[in-house]
């Protein structure tokens, strides 16, 4: 960044692009509002710019290095990388945390662009800035997302087949999704075979594709992200969860304390404390939805009937045994939160995981284990 030309400590021009690709309006997705402030905070340019690589490169390639604030959305990852390549300081604002933007009574794109420009000029921390992942990590994470979509499609088709048979007075046998077409093909009612045979063929094709993604994810973890092997020491954490964790966090040094992972992934409860009142609220569900879902699934396995005996399992079961309302659900979320902290700590230290570091229930010696 070039030397400041004013007492404000900012360059002469402080542009701000407001990208609203997350909105359903097609016109908004194609165009982005632009507001430029001078060193005195006066608006010196307003307009709109096409949300394309060529248009943005043409507009900002000749601009002197300056601070640019963009709104988080569908286009913000590649826009941030492009503007940084052009030498600008880019701040991606999490506008849902800025009440001035999303809670105003007079809200439109032009005013939002100006407000974000002024906040970026005043104090970037007010924008709750986020850092997007690198392009390679985004591409690798798309593999996990595609697998998730295929699994969801397969689940809907299986539920559709079961529902159709049940409505005709029948019931399909219980089985896993992988062997569903083979197990239920002969159990289909005669009148439903023309309707459900194509569904079973589609389920078989989806299962083949999902297995291909599983092999690709395993290969990515072993070749590009070997740190996933450290995370997979924990029972219930497989290739998908470990790779998703690494790709979402990217740099473990971002967090000075491992405990911050709970809040980052939305697994910590909300707070609305005022005076003597401090009610118990639900978790925030902030951060990455996919990783939070995977961690909750791992926690359910740890607390389930097939989970091995570990300190984490004992702690979760003790929490679930307190008998409060929704105790089991609370325990699952708490274990998921503690699991995120554990995975981050293992990643940082690269230690060998000890499932039972506090074996209080284990005998102290062989003599104690053998009854007299």
Phi, psi of 271 (to 5 degrees): -130, 140
Higher-confidence position of 4 and 66: 66
pLDDT of residue 25: 31
Q: Is the dihedral of CA 218, 219, 220, 224 positive or negative?
A: positive
Read off the pTM: 0.80
Higher-confidence position of 343 and 10: 343
Work out the burial of residue 134: count CB atoms within 10 Å of its CB; fewer than 13 is exposed, 13-18 middle, 19 or more buried.
middle
pLDDT of residue 341: 96
Task: Give the model's confidence band at 364: pLDDT under 50 very low, under 70 low, under 90 confident, else very high.
Answer: very low
55-95 tens-digit pLDDT: 999 999 988 888 999 988 889 999 999 999 999 999 999 88
% of the chain surpassing 70 pLDDT: 88
pLDDT of residue 121: 87
What residues contact residue 289 under an 8 Å CB cut-off, 6+ apart? none
Higher-confidence position of 164 and 4: 164
CA distance 10 to 14: 7
Higher-confidence position of 14 and 165: 165
Beta-carbon-side half-sphere exposure of residue 325 (alpha carbons within 13 Å): 1
CA distance 176 to 183: 9
% of the chain surpassing 90 pLDDT: 58
- Tokens 């906040």 locate to 119
pLDDT of residue 20: 30
Three-class SS of residue 365? Answer: coil
pLDDT of residue 4: 33
| CA dist list (Å): 59 to 2, 29, 69, 84, 95 | 19, 18, 15, 14, 24
SS (H, E, C) 327-349: HHHHHHHHHHHHHHHHHHHHHHH
pLDDT of residue 359: 64
Q: At what angle do helices 311-320 and 289-303 cross, to 10 degrees?
A: 90
Distance of CA 166 to the CA centre of its chain: 36
What residues contact residue 287 under an 8 Å CB cut-off, 6+ apart? 264, 265, 266
Q: Is the pLDDT of residue 9 over 60?
A: no
DSSP state of 192: G
pLDDT of residue 279: 84
Task: Give the model's confidence band at 22: pLDDT under 50 very low, under 70 low, under 90 confident, else very high.
Answer: very low
Q: Is the pLDDT of residue 142 over 70?
A: yes
| CA dist list (Å): 334 to 21, 83, 285, 330, 354 | 34, 40, 13, 6, 20
Longest dimension (CA), the chain: 90
Q: What is the mean pLDDT of residues 163-172?
A: 93
Task: Give the model's confidence band at 361: pLDDT under 50 very low, under 70 low, under 90 confident, else very high.
Answer: low
Q: Is the pLDDT of residue 370 over 50?
A: no
Task: Give the model's confidence band at 130: pLDDT under 50 very low, under 70 low, under 90 confident, else very high.
Answer: confident
Task: Give the model's confidence band at 42: pLDDT under 50 very low, under 70 low, under 90 confident, else very high.
Answer: confident
CA distance 41 to 110: 16
Tokens of 222: 């072993």
Higher-confidence position of 48 and 368: 48
Tell me what the pLDDT averaged over the chain comes to: 85
264-320 tens-digit pLDDT: 999 998 888 888 887 878 898 988 999 999 999 999 999 999 999 999 999 999 999
């Amino acid at each position: 960044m070039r030397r400041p030309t004013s007492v404000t400590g900012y360059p002469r021009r402080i542009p701000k692009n407001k990208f609203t690709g997350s909105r359903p309006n097609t016109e908004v997705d194609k165009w982005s509002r632009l507001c430029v402030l001078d060193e005195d905070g006066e608006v010196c340019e307003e307009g709109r710019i096409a949300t394309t690589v060529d248009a943005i490169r043409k507009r900002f390639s000749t601009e002197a290095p300056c601070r640019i604030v963009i709104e988080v959305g569908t286009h913000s990852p590649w826009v941030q990388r492009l503007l940084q390549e052009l030498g600008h300081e880019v701040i991606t604002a999490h506008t849902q945390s800025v009440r001035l933007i999303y809670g105003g009574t007079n809200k439109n794109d032009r005013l939002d662009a100006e407000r974000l420009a002024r906040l970026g000029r005043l104090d970037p921390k007010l924008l709750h800035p986020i850092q997007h992942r690198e392009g390679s990590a985004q591409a690798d994470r798309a593999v996990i997302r595609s697998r998730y979509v295929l699994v969801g499609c397969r689940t809907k088709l299986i539920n559709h087949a079961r529902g159709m048979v049940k409505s005709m007075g029948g019931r399909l046998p219980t089985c896993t999704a992988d062997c569903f077409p083979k197990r239920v093909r002969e159990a289909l009612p005669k009148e439903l075979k023309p309707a459900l045979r194509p569904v079973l063929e589609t389920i078989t094709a989806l299962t083949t594709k999902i297995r291909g993604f599983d092999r690709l994810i395993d290969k990515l973890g072993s070749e590009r992200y070997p740190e996933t092997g450290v995370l997979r020491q924990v029972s219930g954490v497989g290739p998908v969860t470990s790779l998703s964790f690494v790709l979402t966090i990217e740099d473990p040094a971002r967090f000075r304390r491992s405990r911050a992972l709970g809040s980052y992934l939305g697994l910590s409860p909300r707070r609305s404390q005022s005076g003597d009142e401090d009610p118990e609220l639900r978790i925030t569900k902030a951060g990455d939805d996919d990783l939070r879902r995977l961690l909750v699934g791992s926690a359910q396995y740890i607390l389930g009937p097939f989970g091995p005996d570990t300190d984490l399992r004992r702690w979760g079961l003790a929490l679930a045994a307190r008998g409060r309302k929704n105790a089991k659900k609370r325990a699952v979320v708490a274990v998921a939160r503690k699991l995120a902290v554990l995975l981050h700590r293992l990643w940082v230290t690269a230690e060998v995981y000890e499932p039972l570091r506090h074996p209080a229930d284990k005998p102290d010696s062989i003599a104690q284990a053998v009854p007299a």
